[in-house]
Chain A
């Protein structure tokens, strides 16, 4: 006898998922979706829509006002700063990661370094800016020490509060981030590969040029892109360090939103913000592609 024909058994069974009932299981997710919609998707939508509206209608005028000398300069120096900061951070971070990876994998040193990097990679903003002001600002610890030894780091002008200074300060969170991202790739390198190279008569140069280098390259480039996006998005550190002008895009956006100065142009700020979204999206997509390539052998 089958259960299907028996109405008693049929009704005693658990009601099928969904069915004609009110789809209750969607209700459980509704608060979260509503919240994310209101405070995450709506603001993003406002930025995208606002970039294309002005004076009560659809317009591209926000983008034509983007074509101003100081804004173009801000974009160029933002991209330049992020690129330099990413390359410097990636190179130094890779060296640091290599020094860590060649040590004892279960050693205390490695645990301390990876824990500290986890903390430092998140370290930014006002506190970081002040740390560097206290170190190499006008009355900083290192500045005074150097000056008492006859060296003036600011002989050619005070560079800490300008874009070159940001490269130095950003390195403080870029290097740890690189260590965290690159260490797993270095761990994937097996000593047997080096031994194989040597038994085939290869030198250290051959090993790095033909074996380890090509394997690590996608991971390195991917990490560099991540560092680029990280530097490109950073605002707080720069805002605390730089008090005048619009040297980089995040600060230009903040100044356009600030009505106290009397030049508030929210439409233009949204167009700039959309420009940032586009650049970060392109970089992160490339990063994802490289990440997949790395994942192929990093298992």
Chain B
């Protein structure tokens, strides 16, 4: 490469990185700035918006509900998906494609479309079963399926499921023992990834809750935004930081794991969005 072209390339790269860096960092900085503003022109910086979060009981209730939903969704997702995936791998491999395409389907169906169909289901559930906000977890399990399927699939591909299960079975273990005491502990990293992803997705969820008329943290932030922008932006920043930390941890863990044992697989690239880059 000759010198003038290399120089041009370097200038181009610097310009692109500066412009993109500004585009992505300024809005986050602006949220911090906005949430520490005092009342009135020229007022000093203050943390009032942050300290008054706890004085909004509706907001606190919504935060608690979202955290509970995140926990329930993670656990329910694991108990539903992990045994199924292991079982399909070991006993009914021809159903693998069916399970995979079911899990990836929520990526293709827009959330707003899915919720149109979920509305009658939820109306029936609230009449006959319960109208607690925690029932949202049923829908959230579907929402997180594509992402968690991918995480768990990567974990299962990295270990020899068949050998492990045959060894355990030949020593007299039942299927429950095989799944929860032999295979699961061998893929704890993947399970952690799947749970972190579920938590991040559930905490950021707005569409389902809003249409089904439940107040989770995002809906509460949105409602509060009309009355007190400072506080709602403070909560936004907090939830954002929380999700960023979760996903950054995951992304680095994922990158380290992938470089150890990588196996090419066909996938929907929107999943790569979570995995940092193409596997």
Contact = CB atoms under 8 A, between A and B. Distances in A.
Contacts of B269: 180-181, 223, 226, 291
Interface residues of A, number: 86
Contacts of A127: 204, 218, 221, 236, 239-240
A102 B16 CA distance: 12
B119 A266 contact: yes
A142 B108 contact: no
B194 to A, nearest CB: 15
A159 interface: no
A3 B165 CA distance: 28
Interface string B217-228: 010011001000
Nearest to A39: B142
B117 A131 contact: no
B248 to A, nearest CB: 6
A44 interface: yes
B130 to A, nearest CB: 15
Nearest to B251: A115
Contacts, number: 255
B131 to A, nearest CB: 16
Contacts of B243: 119, 123
B interface residue count range (under 10 / 10 to 19 / 20 to 34 / 35 or more):
35 or more
B139 interface: yes
A69 B116 CA distance: 22
Nearest to A288: B268
Given A117-B276, A118-B276, A236-B207, A276 B222 contact: no
A28 B84 contact: yes
Interface string A126-148: 11001111110001111000000
Interface in B232-278: 232-233, 236, 239-240, 243-244, 247-248, 251-252, 255, 269-270, 272-278
A280 to B, nearest CB: 6
A131 B27 contact: yes
Contact of B108 (A95, A111, A281): A281
Contact of A134 (B31, B92, B139, B175): B31
B211 A116 contact: no
B13 A257 contact: no
B274 A95 contact: no
Contact of A25 (B87, B248, B255): B87
B3 interface: no
Interface string A246-288: 0000100110010000000010011001001100110010000
A135 B211 CA distance: 28
Q: Which of A102, A130, A183 has its CB near the most chain B CB atoms (within 10 A)? A: A130
A35 interface: yes
B95 interface: yes
B139 A39 contact: yes
Nearest to B222: A126
Contact of A180 (B138, B248, B276): B276
B141 interface: yes
Contacts of B81: 32
A31 interface: yes
A133 B30 CA distance: 9
A45, A127, A180, A250: most-surrounded residue (chain B CB, <10 A)? A127
Contacts of A131: 27-28, 30-31, 236, 240
Dominant secondary structure of chain A at its interface with chain B:
helix
Contacts of B172: none
**By CB atoms of chain B within 10 A, which of A35, A183, A184 has the most?**
A35
B270 to A, nearest CB: 7
Contact of B274 (A40, A118, A132, A257): A118
A47 B91 contact: no
Given A29-B99, A127-B204, A177-B270, A43 B108 contact: no
Given A29-B87, A39-B138, A115-B255, A236 B206 contact: yes
B88 interface: yes
B9 interface: yes
Contacts of B80: 31-32, 35
Contact of B113 (A26, A116, A230, A276): A276
A236 B210 CA distance: 9
B233 A47 contact: no
Contacts of B115: 43
A54 to B, nearest CB: 14
A96 B12 CA distance: 10
A276 B2 CA distance: 51
A161 to B, nearest CB: 12
B189 interface: no
Contacts of B232: 130
Contact of B273 (A99, A103, A121, A291): A121
Given A25-B87, A115-B276, A131-B240, 18 more contacts: A40-B145, A47-B117, A116-B24, A116-B248, A118-B272, A119-B251, A125-B218, A126-B225, A131-B27, A142-B26, A180-B278, A226-B269, A233-B110, A240-B225, A253-B112, A257-B211, A273-B117, A277-B113
Interface of A: 25-26, 28-29, 31-33, 35-36, 38-47, 50, 92, 95-96, 98-99, 102-103, 109, 111, 114-127, 130-135, 139-142, 171-172, 175-177, 180-181, 183-184, 204, 223, 226, 230, 232-233, 235-236, 239-240, 250, 253-254, 257, 266, 269-270, 273, 276-277, 280-281, 284, 291
